[in-house]
A and B are shown apart, each in its own frame.
Chain A
Amino acid sequence: SYSPEPDQQRTLPPGWVSLGRVDSEEELSLTFALRQQNVERLSKLVQAVSDPGSPHYGKYLTLEDVAELVRPSPLTFRTVQKWLSAAGARNCHSVTTQDFLTCWLSVRQAELLLSGAEFHRYVRGPAEIHVIRSLRPYQLPKALAPHVDFVGGLHRFPPTSSLRQRPEPQVSGTVG
């Protein structure tokens, strides 16, 4: 097996408190980022449509054109879908570009599928925002390495606002 995100920070961000392990029958919604094709070509297309000196400037692609270009290979589809359905994943939804798959699994199924993961519930601040995350790293079968970029919903916590209310500025000698 291999770890898709060995360098992802997995410490509990300030302000979050653990409420303990999640019941193994609870349901999780996890997002699988499938390996795309033709990313290099996509980069060149972006340059062509964004460079005022290019004859293609402003000639943008539609979502369907982009889907045509980056959609994962049939092998990636088959491999990932076989892997997920064997694990009991259900209600899987894709997107137009077919490079993301969101599925529902029980905690038990997810912890078997993503070996090493351990799901806990966390809560933050007065707004009582709840999340379910795993601070432990997850591993995937090596056979998935060419097909999955990462799995969303395990390690990253929602951000906090950086807006601040500053004290009213004091400018000497002007407005009273």
Chain B
Amino acid sequence: LHLGVTPSVIRQRYNLTAQDVGSGTTNNSQACAQFLEQYFHASDLAEFMRLFGGNFAHQESVARVVGQQGRGRAGIEASLDVEYLMSAGANISTWVYSSPGRHESQEPFLQWLLLLSNESALPHVHTVSYGDDEDSLSSAYIQRVNTEFMKAAARGLTLLFASGDSGAGCWSVSRRHQFRPSFPASSPYVTTVGGTSFQNPFRVTTEIVDYISGGGFSNVFPQPSYQEEAVAQFLSSSPHLPPSSYFNASGRAYPDVAALSDGYWVVSNSVPIPWVSGTSASTPVFGGILSLINEHRLLSGLPPLGFLNPRLYQQRGAGLFDVTRGCHESCLNEEVQGQGFCSGPGWDPVTGWGTPNFPALLKALIKP
């Protein structure tokens, strides 16, 4: 029994033992970035670990904070990102990027991209909670940002983006409803993380879809070859497909993976806060687990995982718990009645290939 998601619940569900922590002997590192102009307080992390970090080795503080900190109130998102990245990827050097203090005329997310292009030594894994509706951004901007993700992938950085919290999304195009994809979740050069819930919210049990989990098909980026087979499999076998006019079946489909996104405990401004939900919770959890796998790879003299998707789809989601129950939300109308896509066996546009089963995922990704 449990009363909400804490590090122990995460580590139990994803089969992380007390030994599954960073060794402290490698140059392994991870980072989380949020652009909500929120502050992160080191005292919150210390309090969080005092409350919830008792049964695994962990670091008490972050290695580096990029962006001014400390003066304003802490934000829940900034607190949650760090606390769960450092609980799943425990005892691994962690950076926090939050952009308070930038000039009023600057764009926080763009400033983060400039940082990526200006620092040679960066953490291997970056978890990012940021998304905009694809249709609200200019194609010049979207294409350029996509190239920035290519630059990061070429350098072996793993970029994980939250898939969004509006399910398939919904908007009206020439008076017809359509699903509304989100960017950067729809970029073919990042790994996108969806969200799940426990079937019984008070037990560590099977995971089902969290109805908010962002997912769908890009209207900007064509489907990358690495996922064509998996997507075709889904489209030919799902018994609950929405009308084809709602989505672009030839677009980049997302998310790629998922993790719990429902009912988290967070400490912010020294106050423990329950039942916090969103894919910006599942993203640092998945990122921390990839950092642990990088730890084993580095200890074996192997390079870090880098851009994960080609390998993830080639291995057909080996090492992940397949989530096959539940659907996410979408347009509230007669035609789809609020239901977007539904999960199913294998890959699906709600939870991707599924959620991490650490020992099995390590076995699948430790090979050269």
Q: Which residues of A contact B (CB under 8 A)?
A: 4-9, 28-31, 33, 36, 39, 42-43, 45-47, 49-53, 57-66, 70, 95-97, 99-100, 102, 119, 121, 127, 129-133, 149-150, 152-153, 155-156, 158-169, 171, 174-175
State A63–B38 Cα separation when bound (angstroms): 29
Task: Write the nearest CB–CB distance from A30 to chain B, whole angstroms.
Answer: 7
Contact B144 A29 (CB under 8 A): no
Among A43, A49, A65, A171, point to the contact of B306 (Cβ < 8 A).
A49
Whether A152 contacts B110 in the complex (CB less than 8 A), given A5-B138, A131-B105, A171-B200, comes out as yes
Whether A163 contacts B76 in the complex (CB less than 8 A), given A8-B141, A130-B104, A131-B105, comes out as yes
Task: Write the nearest CB–CB distance from B46 to chain A, whole angstroms.
Answer: 22
Whether A163 contacts B276 in the complex (CB less than 8 A), given A8-B141, A52-B311, comes out as yes
State A97–B138 Cα separation when bound (angstroms): 23
Tell me if B352 is interfacial: C-beta within 8 Å of chain A.
Answer: no
Find chain B residues with CB under 8 A from A66 CB: 151, 154-155
Best-buried of B132, B144, B306 by chain A (most CB within 10 Å): B144
Contact B117 A95 (CB under 8 A): yes
Among A31, A62, A149, point to the contact of B155 (Cβ < 8 A).
A62
Tell me if B173 is interfacial: C-beta within 8 Å of chain A.
Answer: no
Q: Which residues of B contact A (CB under 8 A)?
A: 1, 3, 35-38, 72-73, 75-77, 80, 103-111, 113-114, 117-120, 130-132, 135-141, 143-144, 147, 150-151, 153-156, 164-166, 189, 200-202, 212, 262-263, 273-278, 280-281, 302-303, 306-311, 314, 368
Q: A4-B138, A63-B120, A96-B119 are in contact. List 8 more A-B contacts (CB 8 A).
A: A7-B138, A58-B156, A60-B155, A119-B105, A159-B131, A162-B164, A171-B201, A175-B202
Task: Write the nearest CB–CB distance from B183 to chain A, whole angstroms.
Answer: 11
Task: Write the nearest CB–CB distance from A72 to chain B, whole angstroms.
Answer: 12
Find chain B residues with CB under 8 A from A161 CB: 36, 38, 75-77, 278, 280
Among B72, B154, B278, point to the contact of A127 (Cβ < 8 A).
B72
Whether A159 contacts B263 in the complex (CB less than 8 A), given A28-B105, A165-B277, comes out as no
Find chain B residues with CB under 8 A from A49 CB: 153-154, 156, 306-307
State A80–B212 Cα separation when bound (angstroms): 44
- The residue of chain A having its C-beta at the shortest distance from the C-beta of B156 within the complex is A60
- The residue of chain B having its C-beta at the shortest distance from the C-beta of A107 within the complex is B105
Contact A171 B156 (CB under 8 A): no
- The residue of chain B having its C-beta at the shortest distance from the C-beta of A149 within the complex is B144
State A152–B148 Cα separation when bound (angstroms): 14
Contact B263 A160 (CB under 8 A): no
Find chain A residues with CB under 8 A from B303 CB: 58-60
State A46–B140 Cα separation when bound (angstroms): 21
Find chain B residues with CB under 8 A from A162 CB: 131, 164-166, 278, 280
Closest 5 CB pairs of A and B: A60-B156, A5-B138, A8-B138, A58-B303, A9-B136
Contact A50 B314 (CB under 8 A): no
Contact A50 B310 (CB under 8 A): yes
